[in-house]
Amino acid sequence: MKMMINSIQKSVIRIHTLSRASVCRGLSSVSGPKVCVVGGGPAGFYTAQQLLKARQDAVVDIYERLPVPFGLVRFGVAPDHPEVKNVINTFTQTAHHDRCSFHGNVNVGKDVSIEELRQAYHAVVLSYGAEGNRSMGILGENLPGVFSAKDFVGWYNGIPANKELCPDLSCETAVILGQGNVALDVARIILSPLDMLKKTDITQHALEALATSRISRVLIIGRRGPLQIACTIKELREMVNLPNTRADMLLSDFEDIGETLKDLPRPRKRLTELLIKALNERNDKAEKSWSFRFCRSPVEVLAASDGKRAAGIRLAVNKLEGSGESVRAVPTDKLEDVNCGIIISSIGYKSIPIDPAVPFDHRRAVVPNDTGRVQDVSGLYCSGWVKRGPTGVIATTMNDSFDTARVLLQDMDTGKLDLSIKKPGAQAIAALLQTRGVRTVSFTQWEKINAEEERRGKPHGKPREKLLDVEDMLKIAWS
């Protein structure tokens, strides 16, 4: 009863806050800077947080393509890393701020153009992440049985577009290309005992598929050597400690490392020491194995005899040139074929242009910018992965977003951004969206989706059962 009263009190306070906020934005004479952020992931929320904190008169609207917020914190971070998702609490506080509004279900670039946003706001911040993936550019890449890590992760994490991926896990060997943290996330999810996953927010369909998986061997293939793996020590340790699973590395890959070890920078040294420890600790009773393979680049996906699906991968054997982190992989004329039933390419995500009016560097796949100021377009800024490329943990994205916010605030203070012109902000965009038949999802409406997901997860002991259909999300949001 007490909880119920509390929650009613909270809702009343929230209604008051909301109406006060809408009055501020719509009708009152308050005319502080109006900023909109495109993308409701960590970069969007951290940029908004910093702007709201620094200026008591700033109003920030976040436009998000999906009806649900939080970007890769919801759709990327592995289900068995719930502690990482605690940042959602901070983002929720930001979304509840009097001067902040979330507008989900708005695909910027399609439903509304950047130019229209620029007309309505004093500044627009692009924080729309990296929704594409780097392709391997090799023959056979599109055969069934080959997946990008982005889609595979999306499948187990509930991205609506990936719900029907249905990877066939009936083979013995899986090959993962790339040796970053995403590759290790994927390998760990494939090899984890079901008990470690079933109380997480992994999608039910992924859990069911993994329950019948016959994959017992995962090869994680890198184009460079053991001293250049891109993962971090916590994620490597999780692989080493996987129950019923042994690390099955080749001794010969580590022969020359002893000499170099002492001169390595500390994080790299610790990572390498852990690799060597794993190499020496062989648990021969384990039923499953994983292994790094080094100095191999994908050359061609080999088709099964009927030509209908992937049955292996041809790799070029590389030699390494240079030293340290900047070592380059150079292919030799030696090739090696590996039989496998599934190939997951985890060689990086990639930002894509969303509006032809916004400059885009196609080679680096980022919006070209100078410390967050988009080149040649005044009033346009960027933060997060679309600003600096698809690397960096949430803390890196936070710092980067704070930097962009700082630059934006500077431009307000120095008059580079003209705040004397009154801008209509969300009011104008809401009217535009209405004429286009686009109905938005507010943060309160997202909270209904959230509650429904938590309710569905409860009987299974899961924190939530994610809704996989945008239509279902909208139905619940607007009910």
Binding site for ligand FAD (CB under 6 A): 38-44, 63-66, 71-72, 76-77, 81, 84, 107-109, 127-129, 131, 153, 182, 185, 349, 354, 384-385, 392-394, 397
* Residue 160 interacts with which of ligand NAP, ligand FAD, none, CB < 5 to 8 Å by class: none
Rule CB under 6 A: say whether 182 interacts with ligand NAP: yes
The minimum distance between CB 314 and ligand FAD, in angstroms, equals 27
C-beta of 330 vs 470, nearer to ligand NAP: 330
Q: Which amino acid would we find at residue 409?
A: L
Rule CB under 6 A: say whether 390 interacts with ligand NAP: yes
Rule CB under 6 A: say whether 400 interacts with ligand NAP: no
H or E segment and range at residue 292: strand 288-293
* Residue 225 interacts with which of ligand FAD, ligand NAP, none, CB < 5 to 8 Å by class: none
The minimum distance between CB 225 and ligand FAD, in angstroms, equals 24
Do residues 118 and 418 touch, judged by C-beta distance below 8 A? no
Do residues 201 and 457 touch, judged by C-beta distance below 8 A? yes
Q: Which amino acid would we find at residue 180?
A: G
Rule CB under 6 A: say whether 301 interacts with ligand NAP: no
The minimum distance between CB 150 and ligand NAP, in angstroms, equals 8
Do residues 404 and 387 touch, judged by C-beta distance below 8 A? yes
Q: How many CB atoms lie within 10 A of CB 408?
A: 28
Residue of the chain from 30, 161, 393, 451 that contacts ligand NAP (CB under 6 A): 393
Report the DSSP beta bridge partners of residue 380. 124
C-beta of 128 vs 254, nearer to ligand FAD: 128
Instruction: Read off the tokens for 391.
Output: 């690397």
Residues contacting residue 306 through CB under 8 Å, at least 6 positions apart: none
Rule CB under 6 A: say whether 25 interacts with ligand NAP: no
The minimum distance between CB 88 and ligand FAD, in angstroms, equals 12
Number of residues in contact with ligand NAP under rule CB under 6 A: 24
Residues contacting residue 338 through CB under 8 Å, at least 6 positions apart: 173, 175, 219, 312, 313, 315
Cα gap 312→302, rounded to integer Å: 5
Cα gap 91→367, rounded to integer Å: 24
Rule CB under 6 A: say whether 179 interacts with ligand NAP: yes
Cα gap 372→306, rounded to integer Å: 51
* Residue 402 interacts with which of ligand FAD, ligand NAP, none, CB < 5 to 8 Å by class: none
For ligand NAP, the binding residues in 185-214 under the rule CB under 6 A are 185
Do residues 85 and 58 touch, judged by C-beta distance below 8 A? no
* Residue 183 interacts with which of ligand FAD, ligand NAP, none, CB < 5 to 8 Å by class: ligand NAP
Rule CB under 6 A: say whether 240 interacts with ligand NAP: no
The minimum distance between CB 229 and ligand FAD, in angstroms, equals 16
Cα gap 478→25, rounded to integer Å: 23
C-beta of 102 vs 402, nearer to ligand NAP: 402
Rule CB under 6 A: say whether 348 interacts with ligand NAP: yes
Rule CB under 6 A: say whether 33 interacts with ligand NAP: no
Cα gap 466→102, rounded to integer Å: 20
Q: Please state whether 370 falls in left (phi above 0), alpha (psi between -120 and 50) or beta.
A: beta
The minimum distance between CB 290 and ligand FAD, in angstroms, equals 18
C-beta of 246 vs 388, nearer to ligand FAD: 388
Q: Which amino acid would we find at residue 11?
A: S
The minimum distance between CB 338 and ligand FAD, in angstroms, equals 24
Cα gap 383→47, rounded to integer Å: 7
Strands (DSSP E) contained in 375-426 are 380-382
The minimum distance between CB 275 and ligand NAP, in angstroms, equals 14
Residue of the chain from 61, 111, 235, 452 that contacts ligand NAP (CB under 6 A): 235
- CA–CA–CA angle 80, 86, 92 (5° rounding): 135
Do residues 178 and 66 touch, judged by C-beta distance below 8 A? no
Cα Rg of the chain (Å, integer): 24
The minimum distance between CB 459 and ligand FAD, in angstroms, equals 27
* Residue 38 interacts with which of ligand NAP, ligand FAD, none, CB < 5 to 8 Å by class: ligand FAD
Rule CB under 6 A: say whether 222 interacts with ligand NAP: yes
C-beta of 353 vs 392, nearer to ligand NAP: 392
Do residues 244 and 287 touch, judged by C-beta distance below 8 A? yes
Q: How many CB atoms lie within 10 A of CB 137?
A: 7
Residue of the chain from 178, 312, 341, 372 that contacts ligand NAP (CB under 6 A): 178
Contact residues for ligand NAP, defined by CB under 6 A? 134, 177-183, 185, 222-224, 228, 230, 235, 297, 346-349, 390-393
